[in-house]
Amino acid sequence: MLMGDKAIRPVLERLTEDRLRRGKLLGRLSQKEVLDWLDQRTNPYRELMTYYRCAMMEVETKFNVLNEELSLQYDRNPIESIKSRLKEPESILEKMKRKGLPLTIESIEDNIFDVAGVRVICSFPEDIYMLTDCLLRQDDITLITRKDYIKNPKESGYRSLHLIVEVPIFLHDQKKMMKVEVQMRTIAMDFWASLEHKIRYKKDLPQAVAISDELRQCSEMSAQLDARMEAVRRWIEHGGGEPPAAGMSPNNKME
Ligand code: 0O2
């Protein structure tokens, strides 16, 4: 038998209070806001999250299909891995609070575009743009926003291509358009972003400026590495000849 909303409410309440406290959210939210939020986190919330999960599956499948087809054509897989995640309830709540949005289910759908996130880790920077073009050419995909943090890295050094796309999901009685955030990165960009994400929680250290500078430099090094690996790949694909000028020593070892 399924648990009724009343039965799961105390469980949710305990769980969420604990997680909110860990996320330092309690204190910034009144008890009423938390309780109203919990009331909404029952059926309508679960329903909406199911739709987002379906939308993530749709987008993930599109990339898997492209990877299969392109690997036949080019004899290599342009995608290293795909990771999907549903934004945590606490993060959704925190973002809505930060943006001064009403804490309602409708408001999540209308304003929070990264509830469903698909991260595509590509082999080379060129693959990012090639796969993005392939995705956006599909007639059931609508591009909502595009932010190119590869051509214009963030102040932190963060690099990735971000897309918000709308994709249809087909339910038993209706078609629904859902928004999904797609983050496209190379392995090197992902390596940097993952480690920086862990380190940045220590930003209130006295050496914060020096740490930020160091992280920016690491990001530049990883971008250079991407460019050099791409140059080597092109060199091999074009059958050798003159080695790429940048960074190759006479015995073809990276300097
Ligand atoms: P999580 O856990 O990934 O969801 P906003 O989302 O409104 O705050 P904006 O401008 O819409 O801001 O989003 P932005 O900056 O284009 O992209 C936000 C996401 O990109 C972040 O998600 C991170 O995943 C990633 N990101 C952006 N900047 C950085 C950075 O400097 N370092 C790292 N490691 N990742 C970054 P969330 O919501 O922060 O977290």
Per-residue pLDDT reduced to its tens digit, 107-143: 999 999 999 999 999 999 999 999 999 999 999 999 9
Between 215 and 18, name the one with better pLDDT. Answer: 215
Helices 89-98, 5-22: axis angle to 10 degrees equals: 70
Catalytic entry in 69, 181, 220, 230: 181
Q: For the residues 235-247, what does the mean pLDDT come to? A: 73
All domains of the chain in start order, with CATH: 50-187 (3.30.460.10), 194-252 (no CATH)
Task: Say yes or no to pLDDT of 198 above 70.
Answer: yes
Query: Are the beta carbons of 150 and 129 closer than 8 angstroms?
Result: no
pLDDT in tens, 20-44: 555 555 556 665 666 666 666 567 8
Q: How far is the CA of 84 from the centre of ligand 1 (A)?
A: 15
Active-site residue 47, yes or no?
no
pTM: 0.82
- CB of 99 closer than 6 angstroms to any ligand 1 atom: no
Q: How far is the CA of 40 from the centre of ligand 1 (A)?
A: 25
pLDDT in tens, 85-102: 999 988 998 899 899 998
Quote the CA–CA distance of 120 and 59 in Å, as a whole number. Answer: 10
| Residue-level pLDDT at 164 | 98
pLDDT in tens, 168-191: 999 999 999 999 999 999 999 999
Task: Say yes or no to pLDDT of 3 above 50.
Answer: no
| Residue-level pLDDT at 252 | 41
Query: Are the beta carbons of 36 and 103 closer than 8 angstroms?
Result: yes
| Residue-level pLDDT at 22 | 54
